[in-house]
Amino acid sequence: MSGNWPVRAAQAGDLAQWSALRAALWPDVDAAEHRADIEDQLAQPERFNSFLALDGIGMPIGLAEASLRCDYVNGTESSPVGFLDGLYVVPAVRRRGVGRALVAAVEAWTRALGCRELASDSLLANEPAHAAHRAYGFEETERVVYFRKSVDR
């Protein structure tokens, strides 16, 4: 199957599958933190939305998490902007339009909120993510390295 993947907003009843997709995307985050993040998103629908792409039998095969950002977002020219916080497609169905369908759902949500821009980011070394962003119509705006210094004592 290719192209026409059903996508819907994630709901509280999707907790197990939603958490599993998040764990595949962010494996260094523990299950309790995934659950807390999901609960936080569900509690603030005006600020967050997450979408699930479904296979032919209704099982989630992809996830897009998005937020409305009112702070400055690197590379954007307006505010607020939609922000694609995370995108994951199970390996067996990659390169078949699932990611594109998820990004389209995020774009529609962003547009419905009155935003003119959708932004995202990726780790500097994650070339496959950069290629996917370009394929979905994103343009690279800048590269940044963040620094931190502890001032505890």
User: pLDDT (tens digit, 0 to 9) for every residue of the chain, 153 residues total?
Assistant: 445 899 999 999 999 999 999 999 999 999 999 999 999 999 999 999 999 999 999 999 999 999 999 999 999 999 999 999 999 999 999 999 999 999 999 999 999 999 999 999 999 999 999 999 999 999 999 998 889 999 987
The per-residue pLDDT for 60 is 96
Instruction: Return the beta strands (E) in the chain as ranges.
Output: 7-9, 48-54, 60-69, 81-89, 118-120
The per-residue pLDDT for 37 is 96
Per the CATH hierarchy, to which homologous superfamily does domain 7-135 belong?
Gcn5-related N-acetyltransferase (GNAT) (3.40.630.30)
- Look at the chain and count its residues: 153
Question: Structural domain boundaries of the chain?
Answer: 7-135
